[in-house]
Structure 1
């Protein structure tokens, strides 16, 4: 049972998690706008190099950033500094593209692990709050990219205002007490159950990310459909976290994936099926993060870096091309994803019943 003081602290952290979620939306919108604007500022070769650099920093940098943050325990300070860095990147958006790319990439990496780590510390094993933190990012990214494609330069001022407002709120917001990781135990010669659960979950998230990337690739030039896809993904993460807490992580995850893959396979026919499949696919994200947290309960920022960064980066390098058609290949990949989650949760249950 939690003490009254601890419950009160958790209740006070709810506005913090909401603010971090909104900040996630503004931060990803800024990143989407900056990266999308490159098409009007740089040639193809430079753009490819800049985007690659951003992905390496923003996604590949999350795991080392999370490990460092768990050891330092400065979640509030890192959240504030990362938001300020993204504001700085927007100020430099009219000058050197490499400079604002480095700033945006570093900011994104640290904000994801600081926000995700704070959420997991404040509400352990509560998928609904992970959904709140993660949901607004995908929608913000789509809106930022759309604004860049439309060359709405005034959006820069809106993004700076939004990021600044969240930053000011977080200065006074309640954060959970700093947490240090436990001293690492002596290394074992063989993989144990924890390692297998982690590996299966990371591969499952990566495969799911590959499907998500492919869906976005198919509709790259259809901005209106991309907007609806992002909206469905946001709603899916918000609803999926709540449903998983209510009906159980394993049951919800397997049911959502079982419906999402056929729906995505029919998505090329109707927008409804595409939105349904996308929403269900992305709704599994909060469950994946809390499942990883159960494996490493004292490393919240590291868990966030692995789930939001490392696994997503791995999903981005899985070779799916535009020739990869909906049927039957997509269903085959979907079955693989379903199987990975099935065995991951099976090992999960064995681990915590032993």
Structure 2
């Protein structure tokens, strides 16, 4: 994999950006607002900004062929401004939400156009966000001084400016295919819709899994570590064993682990890893159909995450219904993967790369 330096910087920066945003949300925002319903509205606003705007930002960046490093840099600076103005909670959420969206498009474009036709890079970039959310929540609740967060963000700005500044090629490379098992459906739009459905399900189910064992700091962080591991390794495994094989199998294995053994820490943790493996697979499934629009493709995936998240704020299902709904939804997600995603074997030689 080439361009490893930029991947490492964007991956670490992703963790820092999400860390900073949740530091603001769980820290200054919650302390100043206090009223639970208003806090929920604030979190919903943040999610709409951070996830809902990415599709539009990505489309604009693709059309204007803006360098990914400049986009990511602007995102980091906006989040930094949000941290500094934490004394104004709603304005801080505005800056953090928009900044988060802008940064993700910059890093997301890099993860796709320098992928060398492999799935792994997208998963590695996205994976660190889960760790950032958990650590940011802890830092915000414990009142860590905001200057530490500002310095971390400025460090990311420096690294992006000096080590990731390169012209953006807006074409996603093709798979180097050999012995390919084609997807059942070949219509590009249908493939995108099926992948979006799978992402929506992952977002909704991820918030609905009853995890009651988060009783100390380590156990609070553990689900985020599991999400990180699933996203990080998902693309790597898909590149070696076939995206359809890995995606479908991981979801099917996760059903009993999350729906029956959710009270068992070890088994539930394995289930969370398995459940998150498809993240990079669905990202690539969409991006492979939008080769000239990596920013828009990345933004579509986060819009699907938002759609899956919104029902959490509107509907509370009884536990007995949740136990029925979750396995059905995960099964639906696995069917979407099976129909829309292909298997492939890749050669390491003669792979078309982006320079």
Tell me whether 106-115 or 332-341 shows the greater mean CA deviation. Answer: 332-341
1:40 is the counterpart of 2:34: no
Give the whole-Å Cα distance in 2 for the aligned partners of 1:134 and 1:324.
31
1:294 is the counterpart of 2:288: yes
Change (3 A) 1:228 1:220: closer
Matched residue, 1:6: none
1:323 is the counterpart of 2:314: no
Indicate which of 258, 272, 297 corresponds to 1:278: 272
Larger helix fraction of residues: 1
Matched residue, 1:341: 337
Matched residue, 1:164: 154
Matched residue, 2:260: 266
Matched residue, 2:178: none
Structure 1 runs not aligned, ≥5 long: 1-9, 183-191, 350-354
Q: In the TM superposition, what is the alpha-carbon distance from 1:47 to its structure 2 partner?
A: 2.0
Q: In the TM superposition, what is the alpha-carbon distance from 1:61 to its structure 2 partner?
A: 0.7
Task: Give the count of matched residue pairs.
Answer: 326
Contact 1:261 1:334 in 2 (8 A): yes
Structure 2 runs not aligned, ≥5 long: 173-185, 345-355
The TM-score, its normalising length taken from structure 1, stands at 0.85
Matched residue, 1:80: 73
The TM-score, its normalising length taken from structure 2, stands at 0.85
Q: In the TM superposition, what is the alpha-carbon distance from 1:330 to its structure 2 partner?
A: 2.0
Q: In the TM superposition, what is the alpha-carbon distance from 1:321 to its structure 2 partner?
A: 3.1
Matched residue, 1:138: 130
Give the whole-Å Cα distance in 2 for the aligned partners of 1:220 and 1:69.
40
Please list, as runs of the form range in 1=range in 2, the aligned pairs for 1:106-145 lying within 5 A after superposition.
106-145=98-137
Q: In the TM superposition, what is the alpha-carbon distance from 1:158 to its structure 2 partner?
A: 2.8
Matched residue, 2:9: 19
Contact 2:71 2:105 in 1 (8 A): no
Contact 1:50 1:97 in 2 (8 A): no
Provide the alpha-carbon RMSD of the alignment. 2.4
Indicate which of 143, 158, 162 corresponds to 1:152: 143
Matched residue, 2:176: none
Matched residue, 1:53: 45
Give the whole-Å Cα distance in 2 for the aligned partners of 1:146 and 1:322.
28
Moved over 4 A (4+): 216-224
